[in-house]
Structures are given as C-alpha cells and as structure tokens.
Structure 1
Amino acid sequence: MEIKARVTIRGAKIFKGNIDGKDMDSGKIFTDVDLKGETSWGVCTQELKCTNSAVVDGIKHIPFPFLAEIDILMESNGKVSTQLVTGIKPMRQEAAREKAAANG
C-alpha cells in the first residue's frame, strides 16, 4: 500500500559504498512526530528509511527544517510491517513556484 503524508523534515543522511563486498545505497530522513502518553508531550524526531540515496539526494540543498509531502510504501509479512519513503516533494518550493506563476 502506498500513502502520502505531510511532514516536517529536520535532517537527512545517505550512504553509498561497499561493506564486506556488498554494494550499499541507502537514505534516511528524520521527521517530527508527536509524543503520546501520560508522561510525555511535545514532539520528537523519527527516522524513516528511504528506498535509496537518490530519494534523499534531491533535498540536500534545501535548508532544514522544511515541510514536505512524502510517499510511503507500506508492506508487511503478516507480523512485521515496514515503511519505505519512495518520494519527497518539498512544500516550500511548490508554494514559491505557485506564487511566482500567479505574479507572472
């Protein structure tokens, strides 16, 4: 199943290289999530894995934090669920483009 979510991205990291003869290509983003519980409140940062470094590479030039719409692929084997970010669309850039287009 694929879903879209609007998130605040606080940071990102990529790795491309070889470990023990195995080629690796990964990316992660760090997003705000609300704390929930009787003894917790506020916001914390959660790590979300991306399908590869190319997903993250497109946002490295944007100042953090920023709002974005992300595409998430959710899968399960019946016991364990996984979430992978497959796309990131910065909201600030889209708003700036729309404003520029409206102003001609």
Structure 2
Amino acid sequence: MQFETTIVVLGAKASKGEYNGRPFDSTKIFAQAELQEGENFAGFVSTDYTWGTSFNFERIKGLEYPFKAKAVMQIVSNGKDSKTIMLDLIPEKTAPKA
C-alpha cells in the first residue's frame, strides 16, 4: 500500500561500501515523530526510514535542516512483520544552507 505524507526531515545519512565481501549502498532519513499520548510521554522523537541508495543523499545533503518534505511511502510485509519504506522524498521549497 502506497501513500503520501508530509514529514519534517531532521537529518540524513549515506552508507556505501563493502562488509564481509558484500556491497551495501543506502540512505537513511531521520524524521520527526510524535510520542504516543500518555502520562509519561511528551514531545517528539526521531524515526528512521531507508530511502534507496546513497545517490538520494546527494540530492538533499546541501539543504538547510530541518525541512518539510512530501514523502512517498509504502507498507510492505513478509507475511509476519510489516515495515514502512520510503520510495521518494520531495522537499518543500528550501534554501541551500549558507
């Protein structure tokens, strides 16, 4: 199931290389998430999403953080567990960092 949502991007991290002979290449997006309501909870935390390869990091590394963006997400499952993956990230109008 695909859906779009607006998120606040707090940061991003690219990972590319080789580990035990196996190549890896990904971008991790850190986004703001609300804490669940409750007596002992208040405020926000960050949650992370994998967003394709390190090429995607190059697309946003020069932006001023944090920024708002439209995220295209998909919920996938292996039949037992489900997770949300990011298919695309489209920043709202933001200026490059000075």
The verdict on a shared fold, with TM-score over 0.5 as the criterion, is yes
Query: Residues 18-38 of structure 1, C-alpha deviation per residue, up to 9 Å, x if partnerless?
Result: 111111101101001111132
2:17 matched to 1:36?
no
Aligned residue pair count: 94
Q: What is the distance in 2 between the residues matched to 1:14 and 1:66?
A: 18
Alignment match, 1:101? none
Q: What is the distance in 2 between the residues matched to 1:35 and 1:92?
A: 27
Structure 2: which 5+ residue stretches go unaligned? none
Alignment match, 1:54? 55
Structure 1: which 5+ residue stretches go unaligned? 97-104
Q: Which amino acid aligns with 2:56?
A: V
Q: Percent identity?
A: 29
- With normalisation by structure 1, the TM-score equals 0.82
Task: Decide whether aligned partners of structure 1 residues 22 and 14 sit closer, same or farther in structure 2, where only a CA change above 3 A counts.
Answer: same
By percentage of residues, which structure has more helix? 1
- With normalisation by structure 2, the TM-score equals 0.87
Structure number with greater Rg is: 1
Q: What is the distance in 2 between the residues matched to 1:72 and 1:51?
A: 12
Q: Could you tell me whether the CA contact under 8 Å between 1:51 and 1:84 is conserved in 2?
A: no
Instruction: Report matched runs for 1:1-104 at 5 Å.
Output: 1-38=1-38, 39-93=40-94
Query: Residues 52-94 of structure 1, C-alpha deviation per residue, up to 9 Å, x if partnerless?
Result: 222232111101000000111211122211222121100124x
Q: Secondary structure at 1:61's aligned position in 2?
A: coil
